[in-house]
């Protein structure tokens, strides 16, 4: 189902006109009401009247996560406090959190974005959406909640954690959709699969909306198989609003970005210049409708490409290809670029492995080490190293083929690797702690 055909199926020419109008208004607001942006634009010699079309966006300054933290908490806010109705923030585990504030219209826009994604999964009145993202400063819980409400669906705000109760409510309340991180969805699927008293066949689940962390097509297939659902990617970031910046349609051939609200660019992360259409690079967003905290050319660090061909679903909204990884999450091991998502992709090719892993990188005698902890499914696991080898060798060869470096693979007993209720943590780089 297409929630907003006018915007989701708009012609490219009309979309560019709308984007130009909204960009001009946003730039004027930023220049006149946000000292940070006035200073940045003055340094570049750019005035609001220099923005004649959406193509002129390249004249504007970039915004980084460091900028947002330096302006903590409200340095980028463009409206008086009386107009703000909500505040969200990132976890801030590596310093001050990234803050986003919202007017009433901002909340409506955000809800619209989430509603478009859930509508693509045929969610509407009569459905019950179990929201198992965390509620609080994290945008996931309330973002999914408000999107489901906009569609007229029942919102079941279970938040994250208490897995046994989640499954009980899923069964007793007849949840038809699940919204959470893919790693927590896998944890729920695993618990249902291992239960003697719960059967997925007796549940009403048919759709899942998973985001907030990267996941692979292999993990999608496993979730769809174990939960008997169609699994949709929902994309977002706190700096734009939260989940709902885009999402997959029923074709699952890329993530549609709601470019009437968030203008996407792809740049070379080294030169900061735009790449050719269809090429991979770093994703950059400019908010086109935000009132409380508009953001110009935010560098997401996500590495992907944009696809402008019309989708088979009928939507013309640009599609984002699978995210290869983040430029700031990329590991350089023995001179080779490694993304954690590549390891997950390898794991999901082998039915004996669980999709849980942990990478430890260290430096011993001036040489990088690459240790990979993995789990076999219970029916394949043995404490006998000789019986583990037939499973290790194919995975080892596949990782060497895909990534180009040799891992030290360690098979751990089932349920050993930590299961996350929020964003999964997959990497410990000990080299960061050494002189």
What pLDDT does residue 435 have? Answer: 40
As given in the structure block, the two tokens for residue 209 are 């909306």
- In which residue ranges of the chain is pLDDT below 70? 91-95, 328, 420-423, 432-435
What pLDDT does residue 433 have? Answer: 54
Give the closest residue to 183 by CA, choosing from 223, 148, 147, 225.
Answer: 223
What pLDDT does residue 118 have? Answer: 98
Are 359 and 346 in contact by the 8 Å Cβ rule? The answer is no
What pLDDT does residue 422 have? Answer: 63
Q: Three-state DSSP class for 391?
A: helix
CA-to-CA dists, residue 296 to 45, 62, 78, 164, 375, angstroms: 16, 6, 13, 43, 43
Residue whose entry in the numeric block shows the structure tokens 């901002």 = 106
Q: Three-state DSSP class for 16?
A: helix
Q: In Å, how far from its chain's centre is CA 142?
A: 16
What pLDDT does residue 207 have? Answer: 98
Q: Which long-range contacts (CB under 8 A, 24 or more apart) does 36-44 make?
A: 36/67, 36/71, 36/75, 36/76, 37/61, 37/76, 37/296
For residue 20, what are the contacts with CB-CB under 8 A and spacing of at least 6?
52, 53, 54
Q: Three-state DSSP class for 286?
A: strand
For residue 415, what are the contacts with CB-CB under 8 A and spacing of at least 6?
375
What pLDDT does residue 95 have? Answer: 61
Are 392 and 409 in contact by the 8 Å Cβ rule? The answer is yes
As given in the structure block, the two tokens for residue 63 are 């915004």
C-alpha 372/C-alpha 165 separation (Å) is 32
pLDDT digits (tens, 9 = 90+) for 315-346: 999 999 988 877 767 787 887 778 888 888 89
Give the closest residue to 361 by CA, choosing from 414, 397, 403.
Answer: 403
C-alpha 282/C-alpha 304 separation (Å) is 6
């Amino acid at each position: 189902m297409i929630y907003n055909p006018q915007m989701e199926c708009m012609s490219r020419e009309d979309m560019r006109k709308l984007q130009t109008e909204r960009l001009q208004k946003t730039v004027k607001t930023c220049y006149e009401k946000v000292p940070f942006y006035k200073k940045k634009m003055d340094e570049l010699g750019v005035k609001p009247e220099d923005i004649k079309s959406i193509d002129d966006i390249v004249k504007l300054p970039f915004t980084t996560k460091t900028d947002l933290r330096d302006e903590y908490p409200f340095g980028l806010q463009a409206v008086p406090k009386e107009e703000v109705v909500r505040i969200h923030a990132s976890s801030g585990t590596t310093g001050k959190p990234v803050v986003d504030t919202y007017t009433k219209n901002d909340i409506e826009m955000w809800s619209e974005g989430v509603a478009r994604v859930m509508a693509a999964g045929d969610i509407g009145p009569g459905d019950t959406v179990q929201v198992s993202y965390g509620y609080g400063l994290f945008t996931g819980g309330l973002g999914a909640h408000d999107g489901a409400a906009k569609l007229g669906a029942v919102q079941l705000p279970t938040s994250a954690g208490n897995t046994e109760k989640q499954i009980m409510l899923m069964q007793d309340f007849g949840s038809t959709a699940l919204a959470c991180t893919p790693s927590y969805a896998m944890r729920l699927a695993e618990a249902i699969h291992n239960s003697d008293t719960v059967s997925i066949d007796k549940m009403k689940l048919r759709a899942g909306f998973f985001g907030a962390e990267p996941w692979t097509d292999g993990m999608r297939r496993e979730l769809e198989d174990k939960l008997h659902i169609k699994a949709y990617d929902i994309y977002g970031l706190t700096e734009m609003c939260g989940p709902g910046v885009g999402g997959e349609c029923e074709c699952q051939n890329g993530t549609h970005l709601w470019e009437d609200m968030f203008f996407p660019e792809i740049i070379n992360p080294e030169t900061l210049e735009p790449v050719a259409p269809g090429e991979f690079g770093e994703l950059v967003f400019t908010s086109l409708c935000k009132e409380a905290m508009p953001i110009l050319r935010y560098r997401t660090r996500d590495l992907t490409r944009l696809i402008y061909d019309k989708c088979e679903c009928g939507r013309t909204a640009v599609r984002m290809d699978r995210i290869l990884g983040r430029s700031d999450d990329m590991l350089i091991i023995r001179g080779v670029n490694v993304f954690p998502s590549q390891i997950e992709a390898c794991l999901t090719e082998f039915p004996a492995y669980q999709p849980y892993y942990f990478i430890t990188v260290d430096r011993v005698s001036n040489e990088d080490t690459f240790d990979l902890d993995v789990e076999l499914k219970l029916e394949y696991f043995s404490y006998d190293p000789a019986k583990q080898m037939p499973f290790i060798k194919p995975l080892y060869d596949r990782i060497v083929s895909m990534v180009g470096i040799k891992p030290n693979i360690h098979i751990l007993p089932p349920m050993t690797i930590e299961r996350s209720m929020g964003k999964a943590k997959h990497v410990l780089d000990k080299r960061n702690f050494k002189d």
